[in-house]
């Protein structure tokens, strides 16, 4: 078990470019294990985790989680929302999430077949709300937005005994 931890810490250090002889992020605490040794700083303008929005796009039976910042929809497998369908451009549209301003917006990226919101063509960045229907080329998507401090309503199912 300890050997696995040593290997994992080594991989993390390599990924961070952290030197074990002069650690910047992870230090060895002899006889105990490891500790984070990086300096914590407040970054102005960044959304507090409690203010973050939980957003996703639904297409048929698939869902795609969206993250803070830009989320590109397109036929390119490297897109945040990969829609491998006819009529969808490689980089078709973008959904931008800004939790700090509580804004989720849609923008067409010069696609061949257009991007539509509520059946109207998207010509400039437009705000999205929960349940909005987005059409990229021939594909219909639904946007879902939930503040992280509010879980979607769920119903309790009571099992009957006997």
- Which band of pLDDT confidence, cut at 50, 70 and 90, is reported for residue 57? very high
Cβ pair 56, 144 in contact under 8 A: yes
Of 79, 140, 129, give the one whose Cα is nearest residue 104: 129
Can you give the pLDDT at residue 157?
A: 46
CA distances from 105 to 11, 35, 47, 132, 148 (A): 37, 40, 16, 11, 18
Residue 126 has pLDDT above 90, yes or no: yes
Encoded tokens for 6: 């040593």
More confident residue, 108 or 63: 108
From 56-60, 99-103, 136-140, 145-149, the region with the lowest mean pLDDT = 145-149
Q: Which residues contact 65 (CB under 8 A, 6 or more apart)?
A: 55, 56
């Amino acid at each position: 078990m300890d050997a696995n931890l040593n290997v994992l810490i080594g991989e993390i250090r390599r990924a961070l470019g952290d030197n074990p002889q002069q650690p910047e992020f992870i230090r060895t605490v002899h006889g105990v294990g490891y500790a984070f040794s990086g300096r914590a700083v407040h970054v102005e303008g960044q959304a507090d985790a409690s203010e973050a929005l939980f957003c996703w796009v639904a297409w048929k039976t698939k869902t795609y989680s969206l993250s803070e910042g830009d989320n590109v929809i397109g036929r390119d497998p490297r897109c945040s929302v990969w829609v491998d369908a006819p009529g969808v451009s490689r980089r078709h549209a973008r959904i931008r999430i800004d939790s700090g301003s509580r804004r989720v917006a849609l923008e067409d990226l010069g696609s061949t077949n257009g991007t539509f919101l509520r059946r109207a063509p998207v010509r400039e960045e437009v705000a999205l709300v929960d349940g909005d229907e987005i059409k990229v080329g021939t594909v219909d998507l639904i946007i879902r937005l939930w503040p992280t401090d509010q879980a979607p309503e769920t119903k309790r199912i009571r099992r009957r005994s006997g």
